[in-house]
Amino acid sequence: MTATPRCAIVPPYLLVRLARLDDPRFAAAAEAARRSLLRDVPLRELRAAAHPPPRTFRAGTARERGRIDRAVWDATGLERLPGRLLARSEGWPATADPAVNEAYDGLGETHSLFWTRFRRDSIDDRGMPLEASVHYGRKYDNAFWDGERMVFGDGDGQVFNRFTRSLTVIGHELTHGVTQHTANLAYEGQSGAVNESLSDVFGSLVEQHAAGQGTAEASWLIGEGLFTDQVQGLALRSMRAPGTAYNDDVLGKDPQPDSMAGYIDTEDDNGGVHLNSGIPNRAFYLVAEALGGNAWEAPGQIWYDTLTGGNLRRGVDFAGFARATQAAAATRFGAESREHTAVASAWHEVGLGQSLVAGAAAE
């Protein structure tokens, strides 16, 4: 069985740039980035650490579908998971630790979106307990899904704040779990960029759903609040305008393309999974903009149907994913619907219109 890749929110090219800094003002951030890169070892090494036995439901009780079951662990600066202390479990009151409470609440908001809007019973649709570990490592500059749980670092304090601050990060990483249990997309090249984009889409929808924001009111930023005030940037990524999330002397300029005209052909970043995800991200935003209202309704439903419908190949490319979303829109809303038209128009605007036509002719 192929190991689940560690899917982290901060792309490696940002950490590499930080690690290479020789500016004494950012010496602490550079050292933290170097340590963070070294910690990002293969998942099989992470799983070699001890794990507790799976938590089970109380004997004699029948589990109600859609019931949430959360647990947040405190790693206390160590790198063994899930952590030394069970800091908060389902139904426990808030603690004095903001990272624990933010993780707990973020798990809840993500569960709420998937259950109330799509009737998905947790990550695996079978009531999987939602677990998170906070305070992982020392000044760890990332957050990731390891195939079993969410893991959050505290950031270095110079460039990155603690990673539980952003609800989009929590929703993003848990969506990697949904993808793992459904299409299980290969985490490389265009299929990996689709994987990353799906997490950005539903991460943004978690935040919008929690705040009751419509398409026009939403920020469409991924990782807003992660940067400290020493960084000239709003977030890690912008779905509305890929390539504009940050422009900083230390971090450089956001490199994401917003259409196939800027597609980046690279072997870095698992073949550009965090880079080229800006293209399908922009397509989803354009669908939401065209339809108006709440993006978690028709646009989110189309993307959810596409992810869970069983028709995506593990190695699907952008053109194949675009065709799949168009087919999902036609199935749910009709081939002559405004939803179907919005999907086709969005992909055309990001440079995949001809691929849709060619694909349809070949099928």
pLDDT in tens, 99-125: 999 999 999 999 999 999 999 999 999
Mean pLDDT of 256-281: 96
Is the pLDDT at 41 greater than 90, yes or no?
no
Average pLDDT over residues 139-161: 94
CATH number of 7-48+67-180: 3.10.170.10
CATH class entry, domain 189-362 = mainly alpha
Average pLDDT, the chain: 90
Nearest Cα residue to 197 out of 290, 292, 322: 322
Question: pLDDT band at 54, cuts 50/70/90?
Answer: very low
Q: State the pLDDT at residue 45.
A: 38
User: Does the pLDDT of residue 156 top 80, yes or no?
Assistant: yes
Q: How confident is the model at residue 47 (pLDDT cuts 50, 70, 90)?
A: very low
Q: Kindly state the greatest CA–CA separation across the chain.
A: 61
Domain ranges of the chain: 7-48+67-180, 189-362
User: Residue 49: is its pLDDT beyond 80?
Assistant: no
pLDDT at 42 over 50: no
Mean pLDDT value of segment 233-261: 97
Q: Are 359 and 319 in contact (CB under 8 A)?
A: yes
- The per-residue pLDDT for range 183-203, each reduced to its tens digit, is 999 999 999 999 999 999 999
- Statement: residue 344 has pLDDT above 90: yes
- For range 35-45, the mean pLDDT: 63
Q: What is the rounded average pLDDT of the residues 310-333? A: 97
State yes or no: pLDDT of 60 exceeds 60: no
359 pLDDT above the threshold of 70: no
Nearest to 172 by CA among 201, 193, 213: 201
Provide the 10 A C-beta neighbour count for residue 297: 17
User: Which one is predicted more confidently, 6 or 296?
Assistant: 296
Active-site positions read: 173, 274
Structure tokens, 52: 């507790």
Residue listed under structure tokens 């299409």: 183
Q: Is the pLDDT of residue 272 over 60?
A: yes
What local confidence, expressed as pLDDT, does residue 356 receive?
53
Would you say the CATH fold of 189-362 matches that of 7-48+67-180?
A: no
Pairing between β-strand 130-134 and β-strand 70-74 as defined by DSSP bridges = parallel
